[in-house]
Amino acid sequence: MEAASFAAGRVRRASALAWVRGLLSSYGLYVALLALPLVYGINDLQHAHNLTRLGQNLVNGLSNGAIWALVALGYTLVYGIIELINFAHGDVFMIGSFASFAFWTTLGLTVATSVLGLVGGLLVTLVVSMIACGALNVMIERVAYRPLRNAPKLAPLITAVGFSFILQNVGELWLGPAQHNVSDLIHAQQKVFSISGVVVNRSDLLALAVTAPLVILLTTFIARSRLGKAMRATAQDPEAARLMGINVDTTISAAFALGGMMAGAGGLIYALYQTNIWFFQGFRAGLFAFTAAVMGGIGNLRGAVAGGLIIGCVQQISDNRFGSQWTEAIVFGYLILVMVFKPQGLFGEQTREAG
């Protein structure tokens, strides 16, 4: 007994480095994430004697993050089931924006359309965009991933990158290489109300109003429905799921369909929110959303939503304080931090390896 405790002591001392590493991997990411609001909160208090600016950053961040959350859900669904980074997912989101814009133009929605017409038209647009992106995502799976299901992981990742390029090119042919301004149907920047100086705009409410019900529907669907249960079973052990009579191909297609639908919804919100779309928006969105998915613990739906909101806030703080040209570098910096120190995410991972 004595020997045992003595030995344990020796091990502990010998691995001081591992201890530091453990500490970093346990708390490093939290510290890095909390640093931004803390530093700027203190900064605001010192200079403006209130937290209005930080509050505004966070409100914008949360609404912006709602879009990343929708896209992140697609990553996490697909990775949770087949452990594939669907690199083309960001571009499916971009196609969602483009399709939404094209459809509402066809419907004849303009800034002058009545409120009722606008709400109805946009709801139809939402459904159309979701179906289009869901179908597109399923098609990509059939063409680019399914034939490679037994190949090394490298192969589908490369076809995913290939498809990402193809979709970007489609977008470029569709609306040209420049950023494209779309009509500001909902008057996105119009103030709805404010709380002690922190303004909440229509765009913020829109993001919340679309995202929240969708996320609730999706999580309920996964938790309750037959297909949802099949998805969870396949995620845990595809071989066992197959033996239990679950059609794995259908289940995987369903994951892609659901992920694509969320991206389609995200695409519509993005177009209305930013009033500015372009063929390259999906690259950045995809990587931001992927960061969110990993941060939330890949395979974990609620985690992906939380991750999306966090990334949105990081992005807003960075846009507002460092300048938007640095935002990519900063978010990607967080991506690396997450990958290195907490690849299982903040809230735990739900993939085969972990479970």
- Interface residue list for other proteins (CB under 8 A): 1-4, 6-8, 10-11, 14-15, 18, 83-85, 143-144, 147-148, 150-159, 161-166, 168-170, 172-173, 177, 283, 287, 290, 325-326, 328-329, 332-333, 335-336, 339-340, 343, 353
Give the span between the Cα atoms of 108 and 104, in whole angstroms.
Answer: 6
Q: Is the Cβ–Cβ distance between 168 and 25 less than 8 Å?
A: no
Residue 303 CB, nearest approach to other proteins (Å): 16
- Nearer residue to other proteins within complex by CB, 93 or 103: 93
Residue 143 has what DSSP assignment? I
Residue 29 CB, nearest approach to other proteins (Å): 13
Give the span between the Cα atoms of 73 and 225, in whole angstroms.
Answer: 18
* End-to-end alpha carbon distance in the chain: 34
- Nearer residue to other proteins within complex by CB, 202 or 342: 342
Residue 93 CB, nearest approach to other proteins (Å): 17
- Nearer residue to other proteins within complex by CB, 113 or 344: 344
Give the span between the Cα atoms of 198 and 218, in whole angstroms.
Answer: 31
The angle subtended at Cα 322 by Cα 310 and Cα 52, nearest 5°, is 65
Residue 31 CB, nearest approach to other proteins (Å): 17
- Nearer residue to other proteins within complex by CB, 99 or 294: 294
Residue 28 CB, nearest approach to other proteins (Å): 12
- 78, two tokens: 């697909």
**Type of residue numbered 127:** V
Q: Is the Cβ–Cβ distance between 225 and 55 less than 8 Å?
A: no
Give the span between the Cα atoms of 13 and 252, in whole angstroms.
Answer: 48
- Nearer residue to other proteins within complex by CB, 52 or 320: 320
Give the span between the Cα atoms of 32 and 186, in whole angstroms.
Answer: 36
Residue 142 CB, nearest approach to other proteins (Å): 11
- Nearer residue to other proteins within complex by CB, 159 or 201: 159
